[in-house]
Amino acid sequence: MPVKTEKIAQASRCLKALAHPTRLSILCLLKEGEHNVQQIETAIGTTQSNISTHLGVLRDKEILITRKEANQVFYRVRDPRMFELLVILQEIYCKD
Amino acid sequence: MPVKTEKIAQASRCLKALAHPTRLSILCLLKEGEHNVQQIETAIGTTQSNISTHLGVLRDKEILITRKEANQVFYRVRDPRMFELLVILQEIYCKD
DNA sequence: TTTAAATATTAATATATCAGTATATTTTGA
DNA sequence: TCAAAATATACTGATATATTAATATTTAAA
């Protein structure tokens, strides 16, 4: 039987959120555990505004969740299975 | 160590190709084995041109491969691990 | 209570992607 | 050879997404 339209749409939205180099880099970084925005900014190497925008996308799609400590915000991946997905992607696409 | 830029770019291109409802539907259909364009067109329910365009995207990114038989073209998923990726996506996103 | 640091949001512009239509190509069979 | 069937490609306007710069919000510390 065909997969439900709404499930397809939901999966599509998730993939769209993942499918940006900056956001994918953020995900890879967060494999090592939670990071605050500054750390992410430094590691990825772009502007505060740009990182914040991309973090917003990943947060909206509930791929990332946040924890606030004083005036810093720490981000982490909500569901660890997301990493399994990235591993498979790497296996398929990065043979070398 | 950070993931190489080129690998990120490649993975990003793959995800972008997957991240469209029509293309995701095609992938789900091809889980049941290879189909020709007409069959895909009928199952998904859109125009010949539109399906062909989406198949082209998936072919370009080497997610699908083709086999020509007479004047028909059969599509199938190149790497079966792609289905594992979709299963994980479903597990994360389609709890209900 | 003012200032600075950390983060988020908004607005403007640039770029990318999509659906739809028309047209092209390839193959088969009359 | 000609017509029709199956598939692919090119073009166009509409929509979505990205980048950048500017501004807003929150918190802590002086």
Which residues numbered 11-70 in chain A sit less than 7 A from strand D, measured from CB? 16, 20, 22, 46-47, 49-50, 53-54, 57, 68, 70
Calpha distance A58→A50 (Å, rounded)? 13
Full 3-state SS string of chain A: CCCCHHHHHHHHHHHHHHCCHHHHHHHHHHHHCCEEHHHHHHHHCCCHHHHHHHHHHHHHCCCEEEEEECCEEEEEECCCHHHHHHHHHHHHHCCC
> Across residues A32-43, what is the average pLDDT?
96
Q: Is the pLDDT of residue A94 over 70?
A: no
Closest to A40 (Cα-Cα) out of A76, A84, A15:
A76
Chain A within 8 Å of B11 (Cβ-Cβ)? yes
Calpha distance A64→A60 (Å, rounded)? 8
Residue B32 DSSP code: T
Do the Cβ atoms of A55 and A75 come closer than 8 Å? yes
B94 exposed, middle or buried (CB, 10 Å; 0-12, 13-18, 19+)?
A: middle
> A2 and B86: CB-CB below 8 Å?
no
Q: How confident is the model at residue A96 (pLDDT cuts 50, 70, 90)?
A: very low
Give the rounded percent of residues in chain A with a pLDDT score beyond 90: 86
Calpha distance B31→B77 (Å, rounded)? 8
> A92 and B86: CB-CB below 8 Å?
no
**In the numeric block, which tokens belong to residue A85?**
């997905």
* Residue B96 confidence (pLDDT): 47
Q: Is the pLDDT of residue B19 over 80?
A: yes
Residue extents of the structural domains in chain B: 5-93
Domain B5-93 in this protein, CATH class: mainly alpha
Residue A47, amino acid: T
